[in-house]
Amino acid sequence: MSHSDIQPYFDTYNQLLGAVEGLSQEQLSWKEAPASWSVTEVLTHLADHSLVISFRIRDILAGTTVRLPAFNQDAWVSGQKANDGAAADNLTIFHQLLRYNSLLFERLNDEDWQKTGINAKGDTVSITNIIQGFTKHVNNHLSQIDRIKRSYASANQREVSSS
């Protein structure tokens, strides 16, 4: 995998920073419905997901023959009371895991990037696939953050109109 191919992975942090820039604590923790995620919960999930893919990559490099672990994202978010945490802390963790992985990626050769494991669904995935999938996953959640921000603005507009 070339540096240009992996750059979108590294860009995810700045994209997340941009997505939450200027949001108040109320906006970060606001939920459209009890079962919906707040922006803070989305950021918690992305930090968790980064942790999990970091493990998966290292497990593949170690030559694992067991299925790579999955995780129950909703249970993880609710179990750790994610909305009571700080969005900035989640962004810091996310950024540090990107940096930690970047140190590893610098040491990988072409053969390493193509090493594979079996995901929880039973599909064979390479390290390259994992990184590309993670980047796409973050982009999906960036869209989710935009939807949450629009819903918050709409809800506040309705509230002001009804006052």
State the pLDDT at residue 163: 60
State the pLDDT at residue 160: 66
Provide long-range contacts, Cβ within 8 A and 24+ apart, for 89-93: 90/40, 90/43, 90/44, 90/46, 90/47, 91/13, 91/16, 91/17, 91/20, 91/43, 91/47, 93/47, 93/50, 93/51
State the pLDDT at residue 161: 67
State the pLDDT at residue 156: 86
State the pLDDT at residue 44: 98
Mean pLDDT in each 10-residue stretch from start to end of the chain (163 residues)? Answer: 78 98 97 96 98 96 92 95 97 97 95 94 95 97 98 84 65
